[in-house]
Amino acid sequence: MDTPRRKLLKVLLLGDHCEDVYHYGVCERISPEAPVPVLKKLETVVKDGMSSNVKNNMQNLGLKVIHYHNNEKIRKHRLVDSRYNQHLIRYDEGEDSLLSEFNLNNITNLKKIDAVVVSDYNKGFLRTNTLVEICEKFKDTPIFVDTKKDNLSMLSNCVIKINEKEFANIKKMGSDCEYVVTLGEGGALYNNEVFETQKTEVFDVCGAGDVFLASLVYGFLTEGDMKKAIDIANKCASYSVSKMGTYVLTKEDLKDIL
């Protein structure tokens, strides 16, 4: 007897894209020109960042992802002493002006989807009017939003994933939205209930929010329950901060986590 095939869940992802560039090396001396360490570079590793990190994690979780993002190049360079995994400095390029605004009319031949995910780093790709259009166009589809904007009044009927500091700084709330507030090592807050997470030795928090968002969407679509989804997202994000750099969950990781 054949085993029933699991439904392929499809997600529309909209958001800013960047490259996370890690320059690894060793520091063995102080510069004679200034009291700063000199990094002897050994290798450079380039990883997908921002919404592309969300995409990669959702794909590894087994979701089909249709992804729209900016074409302009944004790069975040990190200089790291590889012996101690110590970040020395970060410098960014490609953010001298706002990104070109996304037009929803660019979405073509889109068949039925199971969820819409917005990963908005507030770089200009998704403007206020576009977010309004997204909420209206996909009002009958679950919408998950992670945004750096502090005025959320344009959002309606969404699940908004947001960290504790950003939540405290919101100037205007969305309409009929649910909030999943990440609390770092404290877990997550949802409907006045705290969902604790496993204590983990933290190496790097870069990209942990992306992992949480991706696994939250995966958990909700597969389990059909927000509380179960938060539990999955807590476990995945907690695992990711134990790794160095922008991290993408693997299938092997998932066997251990879930």
> Structural domains in the chain?
10-95+112-250 (3.40.1190.20)
> Which of these, 247, 6, 15, lies nearest to 116 by C-alpha position?
15
**132 pLDDT above the threshold of 50:** yes
> What letters, b where the CB count within 10 A reaches 16 and e where it falls short, cover 115-152?
bbbbbbbebbbbbeebbebbbeebeeebbbbbbebeeb
Please state, in angstroms and as integers, the Cα–Cα distance from residue 191 to each residue in 174, 194, 226, following that order. Answer: 15, 8, 10
Report pLDDT for 200.
60
- Alpha helix positions (H), 101-201: 128-137, 164-168
Report pLDDT for 204.
54
**151 pLDDT above the threshold of 90:** yes
Q: What is the pTM of this model?
A: 0.90
Provide the token pair at 59: 């794909």
How far does CA 60 lie from the centroid of its chain? 14
Report pLDDT for 185.
86
Question: What's the pLDDT band for 84 if we cut at 50, 70, 90?
Answer: confident
Question: What's the pLDDT band for 239 if we cut at 50, 70, 90?
Answer: confident
Report pLDDT for 2.
42
**212 pLDDT above the threshold of 70:** yes
Distance CA 157, CA 236 (A): 26
Report pLDDT for 150.
96
What average pLDDT does the segment 225-244 reach? 87
Please state, in angstroms and as integers, the Cα–Cα distance from residue 48 to each residue in 15, 100, 118, 182, following that order. Answer: 13, 19, 16, 22
Task: Output 3 or 68, whichever has higher pLDDT.
Answer: 68
